[in-house]
Structures are given as C-alpha cells and as structure tokens.
Amino acid sequence: MPVEFTREQLGEVTRLQRLYPDRGGALLPVLHLAQEVFGYISEDVEKYVGTLFDLGPAHVHEVVTFYTMYFRRPRGRHVLSVCHNLSCHLMGAQEIIAHLTSRLGIELGETTDDGRITLLTVECLCACEMAPMLQVDDRYEGHLTVEKVERLVDRLA
C-alpha cells in the first residue's frame, strides 16, 4: 500500500493542524488518523507523517514509540487489551488472561495466525468498577467471566 493520504485525508490533516497555536500539536491526532488509514505505523508512515509537519523521522519515531496505542507492526482485525492492574487483578484478571492465551493459542503481544485477534495486557483502563475488564477495539467490556470472554471472542469476525 502506498503511504499517502488521499486529498480528503490531507484536508483533515490541515484542519487538525490549524486547531493548535503550533501545528505540531496535531501530531498525535494525525498519527491516530494514519493508524486508522494504514493499519499501523511503519517506518514509512513515520517518515511520511514527518513530511507533513516538517519534522525529521527521528522525532516522529520517538513519539510513536513513547505511546502504547500506536502499533508498529500489523495487528489483528481486533485487539483485545486485558487490564492487569490492581483492581482487575483482585477480581480475577489472571484467570481471564490465562483462558484467553490458551483459547487463542497465542502469547501476550501476539496475533492469531488467521489475523483475527491481537492479545495484549494493559495497565489500568480506569474502569475498575467493572473489574475484571478489557477493551475490545473501541469498547470496554467488564464484569468478565470465562464464559463471557468465550462468547465475546466467538462474536469477533
């Protein structure tokens, strides 16, 4: 896939850049957009985004690698991020994580062979009232049980 935004997407980049006193402020939002369009932030994407800000690739790389939400390798069609911080831990996160790794046959950080699911653990997603919980793509799912994650995984295409 060529690493280039469409004209419409470039319009969105300009709109975002104008929101900030210095257009550099739009770097995180533009990286979110790039990830949506290109799937993940490859080195080519870093370089390309850099040209939109007159920034060297090193600056963009430093930013991309600092944050957990930018993927630097292709991810599955769905990302399951299971919280393993204290409140979730107290409510059984370990059991949920163990079940998911064995059920999906992958280690944490890996993607299933069919490219369906990437499994991660994350720090507190600040929804501890529904512990144990996870994020599936944009959505929070809480009060997890083994049966509930089983159903949740089945429904993911």
Partner 1 sequence: MSPAATEKILTRNFGRPDSHTLKAYLETGGYTALPKALTMEPPAIIDAVKRSNLRGLGGAGFPTGTKWSFIPKGHTGPVYLVINADEGEPGTFKDRYLLERDPHALIEGMLIAARAIGSTLAFVYIRGEYVESWRHVSAAVGEAYEAGYLGRGLDVVVHRGAGAYICGEETGLISSLEGKKGWPKLKPPFPAIKGAFGAPTIVNNVETICHVPHIINRGAEWFASLGTKTQGGTRMYSVSGRVTRPGVYETSVAVTLRQLIYEYAGGVTGNGRLKAVVPGGSSAAILTADEIDVTMDVDGLKAAGTMAGSAGVIVLDETVSIPEALMVVARFYAHESCGQCTPCRESTGWIYEMTRRIVVGRGRKADLDTILDVARRGAGTTICAFYDGAVGPYISYIEKFRAEFESLIPK
The residues of the shown chain that bind partner 1, judged by CB under 8 A, are 19-22, 24-29, 31-32, 53, 59, 62-63, 66-70, 81, 84-87, 89-91, 122-131, 135, 138-140
Smallest distance, ligand FES to C-beta of residue 84, A: 7
Q: Which amino acid is at 10?
A: L
Q: Pseudo-torsion of CA 36, 39, 42, 48, nearest 10°?
A: -40
Query: Among 37, 106, 127, 152, which residue interacts with ligand FES (rule: CB under 6 A)?
Result: 127
With tokens 């393993």, the residue in question is 84
Contact 142, 133 (CB under 8 A): yes
Q: Is 124 in the site for ligand FES (CB under 6 A)?
A: yes
Question: Between the CA of residue 102 and those of 69, 107, 108, what are the distances in Å?
Answer: 25, 8, 10
Residue 133 interaction partner, one of ligand FES, partner 1, none, beta carbon < 5-8 Å per kind: ligand FES
Tell me which residues touch ligand FES (CB under 6 A). Answer: 83, 85-88, 124-128, 131, 133
